[in-house]
Chains A and B, each alone.
Chain A
Amino acid sequence: EPEVTQTPSHQVTQMGQEVILRCVPISNHLYFYWYRQILGQKVEFLVSFYNNEISEKSEIFDDQFSVERPDGSNFTLKIRSTKLEDSAMYFCASSEREGTYGYTFGSGTRLTVV
């Protein structure tokens, strides 16, 4: 079964550093998403991306965050200057069409900011 692949599985970074989280969506999917789960809390939507632009973002997704699809296979989330409160599990997801019917989540990247 096709999978969404996220790398790395765990990343530790120093406060103030830039970090890039990488995702390879399923190849025929056109819609891409990032979610965040702070330890012990619920999963929260960050951003959705389609046709090389952001289609929706939450209030969490401020100027410190950006997303990019640099080539035909990768989808990245960049945090420019990490804060301690950015420590969380970040999930990438993709879907073939608009809406939440065929979402597939990756296994997540645990980001620890020290």
Chain B
Amino acid sequence: AQSVTQLGSHVSVSEGALVLLRCNYSSSVPPYLFWYVQYPNQGLQLLLKYTTGATLVKGINGFEAEFKKSETSFHLTKPSAHMSDAAEYFCAVGTGTASKLTFGTGTRLQVTL
């Protein structure tokens, strides 16, 4: 069984500040890890994913995440927040064989001036 825990349902940062959204996972097999972004009333857009190989993954819009197996974490970061980053962010875990993605409960990112 797999699970995802996203710490902090709401995160507020100032424009230009570091964004850090936390995700911890549980998986009995090597995980595939994903971050999705959802803007209001829109669908799920893939930001980045980790499957195998390099543990630091770069995604779209300046986001990156690092897979840390020892900490079972896959935190999402962006060095400098922009107003357009305000959205809901979902971490998800899957595997290379099973077909199901398990999502976390999401973190709403607010960016203030």
Contact = CB atoms under 8 A, between A and B. Distances in A.
Interface of A: 31, 33, 35, 41-45, 48, 50, 55-56, 91, 95, 98-101, 103-108, 110
Most buried by A among B90, B92, B98, B100: B100
A105 B43 contact: yes
Contacts of B92: 43
Contact of A100 (B41, B44, B90, B99): B99
Most buried by B among A43, A104, A110: A43
B77 interface: no
Which 4 pairs of residues, A with B, have the shortest CB-CB distance?
A100-B94, A107-B43, A48-B99, A43-B103
A59 to B, nearest CB: 13
A91 B102 contact: no
B104 A101 contact: no
The secondary-structure label for the interface of chain A is strand
A99 B93 CA distance: 11
B100 A100 contact: yes
Interface of B: 32, 34, 36, 41-44, 46, 49, 51, 90, 92, 94-106
9 contacts: A42-B104, A42-B106, A98-B97, A98-B99, A99-B97, A101-B49, A103-B46, A105-B36, A105-B46
A101 B102 CA distance: 13
The secondary-structure label for the interface of chain B is loop
A42 to B, nearest CB: 5
Given A99-B94, A101-B32, A107-B43, A31 B106 contact: no
B102 A45 contact: yes
A41 B95 contact: no
B43 A108 contact: yes
Contacts of B43: 91, 105-108
Contact of B32 (A48, A100, A106): A100
Contacts of B36: 105
A56 B99 contact: yes
B95 A100 contact: yes
Nearest to B43: A107
A18 B92 CA distance: 31
